[in-house]
Every structure is written in structure tokens, then in C-alpha cells.
Structure 1
């Protein structure tokens, strides 16, 4: 079935889940406005049904340009859905991560999504469309060194709940997707940032947190290798975006499904022990 009379915006579509989701939605017949940050990425993702748009979700002028593109659509297509997928990951202990890095993480992983959502909601009201927020397992379980990342994702979960309850009476749906381990470029970039950050730590903090950081890097590497593919994740996201009666939340991967359930039923101290046990084999001296 063709949905070429309907637009879907996907942010963070340069690589990984975002790119795979844009292609999957185009395959299902939608016209996708795929948000990318660089022209080279635009040329790489362009295909029939996938129209790249330059979109840094922290740049107001680029968000405004996106709204103008939708409003002036040459075929008068309606906006069916917004998939808020853009994100970055910076791992470091709360004590050591500079405040500018905290702000950057929240700017991209939370405030940027709110800005895009606010800008596009008038179109979604008209179409009785849908907002799909890509959260994370980290939006339910905050592992060591994931304070900033998980903090932004926890906040995105809360904003999504509020938005769902605000928009539901007006016919606009809000869905959250919580991926666990997915083999994406973002995880690899996060690992490289973590390695660089360890080198910048003071000698005191290296003694205090060096082994923890190495364990987190080792765990993330293993976690990613055993994770689902970007295409498998894209299938779930595309379903959440297009099925007539979506659930309020979807998980991606068995790890996300299991740990989000455990987070609901285990007391904090038990969850702390589970976290420590999962991390223990990844310490350098394990």
C-alpha cells in the first residue's frame, strides 16, 4: 500500500537506527524527511522515498527550515509522524563529567527533541498523527557512568508520559521506544569518547574510576557485539510509527525487555547487585 501522500520526519538519520528506520518507512510507502547534519550524509541516505534534510535539532534555524519545508510541501502531503531519534552518548562518572558535557547531552537528547516536537505539533494536530520518542534501556536503568545519558533519557520518558496525556484527548498519539544493545555507530563513538575521557582524568580520578571506566568500555563493546542489528531495531520503530493502535512503549532486544521488567519489580538494592554482577566480568583484572 502506498502512503506517498503522508510525510514522516526521522531525526538523527545519518547512520544506524535512524538511517535504517528512514529506509524501512520508505519501503513501506511513506515519504521520509530524513534529518542529517552533513551534506555528505544527505547524499549517502538519499533514495526513492527518502528525502534528506539538514537538521541539527539544537539549531533553531534548521528546525524552522524543516517546518517551512513541510508547510510548503509541493504535493500538499500531511505529516503522519515524527520520530525523535537523534542522540549522543558521553559516559563518565558524575563526579568527573564537566558541566558543559552534561548540558550538551541534555541539549541533544532532551531539549532538541522538545524543540522539534513543539515546532511540528501543529501539523500533527491537523493530521491526528503520532510522536515516537526513541528513549533507551538507560531511560529505565541507570548504570554507573551513564548518569548524564540516563538522566536525559529518564527525562525524555517523563516528558513523553506528560505529552501522551496532554495530546491523547486531541487525537495525537505518543509512543516511546526503548532499545537495549543495538549495533550502531553511536555506541562506537561513545566508546571512543569514553577512552579519550579517561586519559583526561586527573591522577586521583584515574585511580578512583579508571578500572570502572575500563569495565564500562569492555561491557559496552561486548554489549554492542551481541546486540540486535540496526535493521531489526528499525522494524520495531517503523511498527511503532505506523500500526493503527500502537502500545505506549516498545522495547528492542531481549536485554531491554528483561531489564525494564526487573526495574519495575526489584528493590533498588537488588537492582544494584544485578548491575554490579553484570559489570564484574568486564573489569581489567577479572
Structure 2
């Protein structure tokens, strides 16, 4: 299937590894000129992207700098993928509402919500002119808040709501905004020795490998396995394409069947 993406330009945030890197690779394979933004620009990202920029997207200045660099590099933006998110596992406190301080709430909202607000605001004039697409990477945690660290799920729920607001306002002007909400994905966040999955395993008193093997049953994953970054990237690439021209304001769950409600 020709997705008619050759020659388009895209900005992908949080593109240094995991889902973001897979998205940058998938778009590039379809002929898109990708600017990959990450705090740490990895060799894999340099190989996948047309251009890269190192930036802290949890700050307004970092987010704006990414868009300014892309406009300078490309002259315009067709596709924006707001993928950056999660949080530094080493700085996250696992616990209930009363265990979490204001600093963690602020960090999680800056990275998982406001980064998308700032980047989108800077990129929208160009995307609107080109009748382009915005894809926000949320999470099934927006629907199942008990699964993640306090503050993360709430920020992702707000991001999903932001997508709907943007779709309502800018859809009539030719801008397509959609959300992709993965479940557990086999990235370094879960599989890495220093990632969030390892931290949860340690807090639960089980080995990391044992914890990973138990995830499909514990999360009720009907497919029996977790999702791979490349599978999320394939969905994002389709939504960015001209084949999805009448899809907007939707939230696509890709979780192997973890979420049991419609």
C-alpha cells in the first residue's frame, strides 16, 4: 500500500529510543524527512532521522526550540508526533496519592502533557497551512489510572482530552489530530535493567525476568504477549498518511486486549 508519505516532513519527540525511535524509523522508511528530538540523541536516531536535535521537551524553551529547528531545516511541518513521555524511573516514587509530592506531579505533567501543548502550539501554524496531522502518544493508563505512578495516568488522560479539543477546533481547517494509546510495550521502559519495569519488579519483590513473563496474565492481555514498538509505529505511520484522511479525533488502543471496555 502506498501511504503517499514520500517528501513529507515530520517531527517526532522522544525519538531517541523505544516507541519514538521506532516511529522515526517507520516514517523514514516511507520517505518522510524526519526530525527526531530527544534529550539524548542516540546513534540509532542519527541513523534513522534526516535531522536531529537535543532538547529538554519538559520545558517550553526546549519544545519551542525543536519546532524552530524543524522549520529552519524543512521550511514547514506536515506531521507532528508528540511521543515524549513517561518519566525518569530513578526519580519516580511508587505509592498512593498521599505519598507523592508536588515535584513529581509537576514533572509528570510537564513531560506527558505540557510538552505536547508547547510543541503543538509552536508547530500548528505550519501544520494548518499544510493540512497536516498530529498524533499524540497517550496510554491505556488514561483509562486505567491505577496501573501507573500517581500523576502519570492523570497527565495521559489530559493529553487524550487535548487531542479531542484540538481535533474539534482544527479539524474543520484540515488538521487531523488523533491519539494512540499503547498498553505495555517492549521498550527499555519495561525491559531495561534501569527502567520502570525493573523498579516495579524490585518493589514487588520478584526478579525482573519473572515480572516481565507474568505481565500478560497480570494485565489480562488477550493476545498473550506485550506490544512491540514497531507495531505502535506502524499504526502511527498509517494515521499520519493520506490513507487516514478522514480519521480524526479518535483514540486508538493498541494493548493486546488489556482494556476490556469499549
Common topology (TM > 0.5): yes
Give, in whole Å, the separation in 1 of the partners of 2:172 and 2:33: 27
Cα gap change, 1:82/1:145 in structure 2, threshold over 3 Å: closer, same or farther? closer
Equivalent residue number for residue 11 of structure 2: 9
Residue 151 to residue 121, structure 1, CA distance change in 2 (3 Å):
same
| Residue matched to 1:83 | 81
Deviations 1:236-264 (A, max 9, x none): 121122233335222213234xx1x52x5
Greater helix content: 1
Equivalent position to 2:28, from 26, 29, 51: 26
CA 1:92–1:239 in 2, change beyond 3 Å: closer, same or farther? farther
Question: Aligned to 1:79, what secondary structure does the other structure show?
Answer: coil
5 Å-filtered alignment, 1:91-240, equals: 91-143=94-146, 146-187=149-190, 188=192, 189-194=195-200, 222-223=214-215, 226-240=225-239
Comparing 1-10 and 233-242, the one that deviates more: 1-10
Contact 1:93–1:145 at 8 Å: present in 2 too? no
Report deviation, 1:72: 2.3
Residue pair 2:23, 2:236 contacting (<8 A) in 1 also: yes
SS of aligned partner of 1:34: strand
Count of residues paired in the alignment: 240
CA contact (8 A) 2:100 2:150 kept: no
Q: Secondary structure at the match of 2:97?
A: coil
Q: Is the 8 A contact 1:57 1:112 kept in 2?
A: yes
Asked whether the equivalents of residues 182 and 254 of structure 2 are also in contact (C-alpha less than 8 Å), the reply is: yes
Question: How far off its partner does 1:34 sit?
Answer: 0.7
- Retained in 2: the 8 A contact 1:29–1:49? no
Deviation at 1:163, TM superposition (A): 1.2
- Distance in 2 (CA, whole Å) between partners of 1:158 and 1:98 is 24
Q: Report the Cα offset of residue 22 of structure 1.
A: 0.3
What residue number does 2:219 align with?
A: none
* Closer, same or farther: CA 67–229 of 1 in aligned 2, 3 Å: closer
Task: Give 1:61's aligned residue.
Answer: 61
Task: Identify if the C-alpha distance between structure 1 residues 149 and 64 changes in structure 2 by more than 3 Å, giving closer, same or farther.
Answer: closer
| Alignment RMSD (CA, Å) | 2.6
CA separation of 1:125 and 1:144: change in aligned 2, threshold 3 A: closer
Give 3-state SS (helix, strand or coil) of 2:146's partner: coil
In structure 1, the gaps of 5 or more residues are 199-212, 265-286
CA-to-aligned-CA distance 1:27-82 (integer Å, 9 cap, x gap)? 0110111111124x2x3311265322113212333333323323323x64x31110
Using structure 1 for the length normalisation, give the TM-score.
0.75
Give the Cα–Cα distance (whole angstroms) in 1 for the partners of residues 205 and 152 of structure 2. 18
Describe the SS at the equivalent of 1:254. Answer: coil
Shift in Å at residue 93 of structure 1? 1.7
| Equivalent position of 1:280 in the other structure | none
- Given that residues 11 and 70 in structure 2 are in contact (C-alpha distance below 8 angstroms), is that contact kept between their aligned partners in structure 1? no
| Structure 2: gaps of 5 or more residues | 217-223
2:221 aligns with: none
